[in-house]
Amino acid sequence: MLLRPITRSIAFVRPTRSILSATPKRLFAARTSITPPFKPASSKDFIRSRTMCFCHSGVEGAEPMSGGASASASEMKPVDYRLPTDVVPKHYDIAVKTDLLSSPPSFSGEAIITLDITSDTSTLVFNAHKALNITHVAISSNDLKTSSTVVIPVDQLTFDEEQERGKIDLSKLPGGGLKAGSKGVKVWMRFEDELKGNMVGYYKSEGSTDEATGKKQIYALTQFEPTAARKAFPCWDEPLVKSTFSLSMIAREENTVLANMPEVSSNPWKPQSGASPEGALSDSYELGSLLAGGSSSGKTESSEGQWKIAKFEKTPPMSTYLVAYACGEFASLHSEHKSKLTGKTIPLRIFATHDQIKQAQFGLDIKKWALPVYEEIFDIPYALPKLDTLVAHDFDAGAMENWGLITGRTTAYLYDPEKSSLTAKKRVATVQCHELAHMWFGDIVTMKWWDNLWLNEAFATLMGELVIPDRIWPEWHVRAAFLNDHLTAALSLDSQRSSHPIEVDCPDANSVNQIFDSISYSKGASVLRMISAVVGEDKFLKGVSIYLKKHLYGNAETKDLWAGVSEASGMDVASIMANWTLKVGFPVISVDEQGDGKIKVTQNRFLSTGDVKPEEDETLWWVPLEVKTLSGGKSSIDHKAVLSERSTTIDVGKADNFKLNAETVGVYRVKYSPERLTKLGKDAAQFSIEDRVGLIADATTLARAGYAKTSGSLNLVAELSKTEKEFLPLSQIGGALGRLSAVWWEQPEHIRNAINKLRLDVFRPIVDRMGYEHGADDTPDVKELRELAVSTAAAAEDAAVLKELRDRFEPFLANNDDSRIPPDLQRSIYVNAVRHGGEKEYEKMLEVFKKPANPSTKVDAMYALCSAKDKALLERTFKMLDDGSVKDQDIYIFAFGLAQNRHSRRDMTAWFKEHYDELVKRFADSYGISHLIKGSFNSLTSYDDLKDAKAFFADKDVRKFKLSVSQTYDSMQAAADWLARDSKDVEQWLKENKYL
């Protein structure tokens, strides 16, 4: 799954539009392989693996998760949060009937689940959400000493709402229960529910309104990760419990139905005459026959139209969270992938509503380009007979890797070659590549439990957002961009006390959602990138292939990955990486120059608040120092220099200059003396782009945390900006100055103006040099630098730049002519039109929001509607949040947009508090509440704000989002500390450098 909020600050955001580049060049080497067979685990393996998974996968003495879930694993017994192991589901036959025209739209279903019994049991325990109405239950087994199906009264079905489990008492049935060793026990259940718009389980999504008929498009799709399959059908909803699935979809004839596997038949559907629960498990019963007619829950079923039943191929063994299906009126585009490993042709399709399908071609093409690269690298063919993508109007996360049926937001898959930005194009490319990576990492090989979520998400981030795009679009320089996009995010979150280890305790369903964060994704990907650099990328990828091949169609954990990489590299990777995945945090390496070319390096844990306690500083990491030295204009790297103790001494000889963490491959910060930092700034041009990005990030971050004075980092920024020409280092500078401006937002006006002058001193000359229009031969880096410079200069309120943006907006305002709005500058133009305009500019953005040209344009309009200075206009935006004008999936974008605006920042916090109960109810089962908390509070920077936030949450039940609350406190604390500590230092620097 991809979680990537569109929340970058307008001050240095890269807006969202560009021109479609040429088809990428690809070189693929043929390999010989065979399609791997299905290898479901035996019942014995299942029980052993479940027992091993009950414990935290760390080592003795591993630090507990700070500020984490509702309870740690040590406080809960396995029986409290894991299903019993006395039964093993082997196969599900599921029929789902979708009625999009009922009032309200609803679904009903039947499931026949085939079980093996591993130990005597008189109860059947499974997962089911309280909202799912199970209307009938029947069971068939020789153990029950009857030759017929036993119908179980529904009142014998009890529920544990907290752990989302159903329990059937079998003790009163003939035979008293089920006996160990029994196979082929069948349980039939009928169930139903409303199709809600909450974006979890099987839910409804609403598209645009058809202008001809006035009808709103309504369709249904699933989102089950991590624990929402239980909202759609009764199941054993744990990743280790893999089963095969045979799905049937009952729908109206005009609807398209989709599932993980290819459709094998579609026929008119009518219920079987005389069907009854007593016969539901007989050989003659047609699954779905008891889904006819009305609803036990009183919903009104529509009788319009003729019905069909579509049946799909049986899946390989898979976890419940990867099951997927959908029903609606979709259009599609088609392509294919011919595997060099098997010679088989795999159909590739992308589905969207009819009004959006024309923007889906690029998303389809990516699958065709990327699949051969994945097969070449892993030497494992894509395993299923087809691969679809479904574009959804309502989607909680960014995208989801359902095996054979990938789903996601419109911004994740739609791209308009004429009106979308380079940023939008890159997002579509990396999202699709990320989800394709999951076809191997997560789908065919799945983590045993959620504490190893990183095995899925870190790999998909590394492969889908670095390795694969680098091979398809080398002009994007994704290896360097990874530092800004992921390493920075990882180190930012992991520098907080409320961070957690990569392998993290997550005992129950109430805590799983919280770990879908930058630690599991970005830090995980960063440590994989680091070990790849240590052993060599070829050996690393070979080790990954070994790991995958050993666990095909099964489950794995971190030690299995390290075993594969160790086999390929000959290194003890498990020992090297243990503390990187099992312990919270990362080190800062302090460099003490002792003369005669000797430097002493010391590692300590880094915290954003700079107040590490002795008990928090016990971890010693295995740190690849990667010492780069400059001598006579040439550079060299010592790859053997490693710090595994607290301190060590290194000889850099008579080098003209040196830098640790060459190419910024390590997951740590480096602290130099002010004198060395100045010298590095003067010699920066002799270092790589990756080195310069890391140097700026380290210096500015250390200053914010109090490890050095902010004035020192400003000296470095001033020095580098004199000669720096590349986008990525300048983007890091823009981000650092943007954060300074954001934290200093309530300082006196003359201080804020001085900071803006500094920003303009860096970026206004770039605007003058580059202008506002892209050239035909401009590289991606040039385009991104132009938009960075223009948007930063506008945020710093440069009068000439603002006038130019206003002039470009005027034809669009007057007669809908957007010919003077370059796609990549669209967001900045929109935002500043509203920020420095009035009601007519606001109305224009409201018009775009309601009827956007493409999804990224709608996001740009959202940020514009949040950017007004006028209180009356801001009140209109807040009213949109109240009256249903904003989709649930977009609420958090408004929250971040309003929080970025200093004129509405505190109003956003007040709105969240006022609507807290409603928001928790709406978003309790999704990721939205965490985004809303951070969006509503993270921009506040005073101790009073922190005290107020803690008082607000003090009496709230925050178990499901405790991490987000704790991380918000840490962010506010760090900002307030920075301001209190360095406000005078910054003011003095501004005076000395004539900005004040």
Binding site for Zn(2+), by residue number, is 434, 438, 457
CA distances to 197, 204, 292, 406 from 104, in Å: 11, 10, 17, 27
Distance in angstroms (rounded) separating the CA atoms of residues 941 and 976:
5
The reply to whether 435 belongs to the active site is yes
805 phi/psi in degrees, rounded to 5:
-65, -40
For 130, residues 6+ apart whose C-beta sits below 8 A from its C-beta are 159, 161, 164
Which member of 435, 663, 690, 724 is catalytic? Answer: 435
Query: DSSP letter string over 263-327?
Result: EEEEEE--PPTT--GGGTTSTT--TTGGG-S--TT--B----S-EEEEEEPPPPSB-GGG--EEE
Neighbours of 769 (CB within 10 A): 11
Tokens of 796: 């710093």
Distance in angstroms (rounded) separating the CA atoms of residues 589 and 659:
12
For β-strands 657-659 and 627-631, DSSP reports them as antiparallel
**Cα angle vertex 652, ends 647, 655, to 5°?**
150
Rg (CA), the chain: 29
Do residues 308 and 253 touch, judged by C-beta distance below 8 A? yes
Q: How far apart are the first and last CA of the chain?
A: 48
Task: Report the run of H or E that residue 666 belongs to, with start and end.
Answer: none
Neighbours of 514 (CB within 10 A): 24
Distance in angstroms (rounded) separating the CA atoms of residues 47 and 117:
11
Do residues 530 and 427 touch, judged by C-beta distance below 8 A? no
Distance in angstroms (rounded) separating the CA atoms of residues 421 and 791:
14
For β-strands 598-605 and 623-624, DSSP reports them as unpaired
Where does 382-523 have alpha helices with state H? Answer: 410-413, 422-438, 453-462, 468-472, 478-482, 488-494, 509-512
Cα–Cα nearest to 788, from 830, 727, 740, 742: 727
For 148, residues 6+ apart whose C-beta sits below 8 A from its C-beta are 140, 278
For β-strands 123-127 and 165-169, DSSP reports them as antiparallel
Distance in angstroms (rounded) separating the CA atoms of residues 879 and 887:
13
Distance in angstroms (rounded) separating the CA atoms of residues 57 and 505:
8
Tokens of 223: 């989102």
Which three-class secondary structure state does DSSP give residue 770?
Answer: helix
Do residues 848 and 17 touch, judged by C-beta distance below 8 A? no
434 phi/psi in degrees, rounded to 5:
-60, -50
Distance in angstroms (rounded) separating the CA atoms of residues 411 and 395:
10
By the 10 Å C-beta count (0-12 exposed, 13-18 middle, 19+ buried), 427 is classed as: buried
Distance in angstroms (rounded) separating the CA atoms of residues 971 and 624:
29
Going by the annotation, the residues of the binding site are 434, 438, 457
For 486, residues 6+ apart whose C-beta sits below 8 A from its C-beta are 461, 465, 518, 521, 522, 525, 526
For 953, residues 6+ apart whose C-beta sits below 8 A from its C-beta are 965
Instruction: Specify the amino acid at residue 409.
Output: R
Distance in angstroms (rounded) separating the CA atoms of residues 171 and 673:
73
Distance in angstroms (rounded) separating the CA atoms of residues 22 and 25:
9
Which three-class secondary structure state does DSSP give residue 705?
Answer: helix
Tokens of 602: 């010391």
- Residues with active-site annotation: 435
